[in-house]
Amino acid sequence: MSADCLFCKIIAGEIPSTEVYSDDAVYAFRDINPQARVHVLVVPREHHEDAEALAGNPGLLSSVLKAGAEVARVEGVRESGFRFVFNTGDDACRTVFHAHLHVLGGEQLSGFGR
């Protein structure tokens, strides 16, 4: 746990969230400001600053991706399609410094980029 980290506080239950999936390695919850009908954040329970740092722990990265796939299944978007996003750095508008996978779907998504 990292002091002053929003997602560490959410994982610890100090800040309320709506759980979608949970296991020993990860916690998944609804984004407070959804950008699609389905918008869930999958976070490793262990604090890592961003996806690049998470890549140093391939087992944990794999757990995050597997949990994302499970989220897509339980949210009913596995067949219709979904998007995995890791924002890293300022140009990607990353705002929370605890690695998180966005799972987006449930409707036709727009193209991404600029």
- Binding partner of 95, given ligand 5GP, Zn ion, none, CB within 5-8 angstroms per partner class: ligand 5GP
Binding-site ranges for ligand 5GP (CB under 6 A): 6, 15, 17, 29-33, 41, 87, 93-96
Catalytic residue flag (residue 48)? no
Nearer to ligand 5GP, 1 or 15 (CB): 15
- Asked whether the beta carbons of 94 and 50 are under 8 A apart, the reply is yes
Q: Which of residues 56-95 bind Zn ion (CB under 5 A)?
A: none
Under the binding rule (CB under 5 A), the answer on residue 103 touching Zn ion is no
- H/E run at residue 38: strand 38-44
What residues from 20 to 49 belong to the interface with Zn ion (CB under 5 A)?
47
> How far is CA 99 from each of CA 25, 52, 108, 111, rounded to the nearest angstrom?
13, 8, 26, 23
Stretch that binds Zn ion, among 6-14, 30-38, 53-61, 80-88 (CB under 5 A): 6-14
**Six-digit token pair at 109?**
């998504």
**Could you say which of 39, 48, 100, 102 is catalytic?**
100
Report the distance separating Cα 49 and Cα 82, nearest Å. 24
Partner from Zn ion, ligand 5GP, none contacting 93, C-beta within 5 to 8 A by type = ligand 5GP
- 85, with CB counted inside 10 A (0-12, 13-18, 19+), is middle
